[in-house]
Amino acid sequence: MKSIVAGALLAFLGFASSAQAALTIVVPNVNLAPNTPNQPVTVAVNGGDMVTGVVVDAVLGNGSAAGVEPIFQSFDFTTGTMFSDTAAHPGTKIGGTVGGVPQDAQVSYALNTQNDTVAASGNFITLFISTVNLTSGTYALSLGNTEIGQDTHFLLPGGASDQPLITNGTITITAIPEPSSMLALLAGGLLLVRRRRAA
């Protein structure tokens, strides 16, 4: 009898632990244009757990530390994301940048209907970032280990958290060559080819 109970308990525990796959978020390393507002950066999740929402805690650069850094401008959870079917799964966005520090954001999206779920797989948010007054540099884009004190996480039915494994990323501000510069470079290359043929 004890072996049957022990076997049933082990089977139950094995089933319960396999019910939630390990969610992972790899924040991308992206290049953004200098001195430009509203540049989109989309972040995805892998794993497929059934979730009722997400809480995004994000920091750009050093967050609230002194210095000019890129800033968050807005957040989109429903365009081209796992939450995009708003007719079947309506939801509500709450939050934004934190306390007058536009490098820090705490924003969430939750489905409106109790126990409604979507699979945590694919894009889940687009962050719109401004590089106004910045011409170059590389800055951290963090959704985990942030100064906010909480990592980005998903919500399960009943309100429990589903904590993904997060790899933070970066944004690099790089100048895009002007068309006149590209033409000058092309002309110089053609002159070199012509000189070599003449020699």
Strand segments, DSSP code E, in the chain are: 24-26, 30-32, 39-46, 50-51, 53-60, 71-76, 91-98, 101-111, 118-119, 122-130, 137-142, 153-155, 161-162, 165-167, 169-173
pLDDT band (50, 70, 90) for residue 178: low
12: in domain: no
How far, in Å, CA of 171 to CA of 26, rounded? 13
193: in domain: no
For residue 71, what are the contacts with CB-CB under 8 A and spacing of at least 6?
Answer: 60, 97, 102, 103, 129, 130
Q: Output the CA torsion sign for 65, 36, 100, 128.
A: negative
Instruction: Please check the confidence at residue 162 and state whether its pLDDT lies above 90.
Output: yes
How far, in Å, CA of 29 to CA of 10, rounded? 42
pLDDT band (50, 70, 90) for residue 46: very high
* CATH number for the domain that contains residue 150: 2.60.40.680
DSSP state of 172: E
For residue 27, give both structure tokens.
């924040």
171: in domain: yes
Bridge partner residues of 138 (DSSP): 172
* Residue 2, H or E segment: helix 2-18
Instruction: Please check the confidence at residue 21 and state whether its pLDDT lies above 90.
Output: no
Host domain of residue 23 = 18-187
Picking from 72, 57, 54, 51, the residue whose alpha carbon sits closest to that of residue 150 is 57
Q: What confidence tens digit (pLDDT) does each residue in 67-118 have?
A: 889 999 999 999 999 999 999 999 999 999 998 899 999 999 999 999 999 9
pLDDT band (50, 70, 90) for residue 184: low
Which phi-psi region, left, alpha or beta, contains residue 106 (left: φ > 0; alpha: ψ -120 to 50)? beta
pLDDT of residue 67: 82
pLDDT band (50, 70, 90) for residue 160: very high
pLDDT of residue 158: 93
* Residue 4, H or E segment: helix 2-18
pLDDT band (50, 70, 90) for residue 192: low
9: in domain: no
Report the domain count for the chain.
Answer: 1
How far, in Å, CA of 7 to CA of 26, rounded? 38
34: in domain: yes
3: in domain: no
Mean pLDDT value across residues 144-154: 94
4: in domain: no
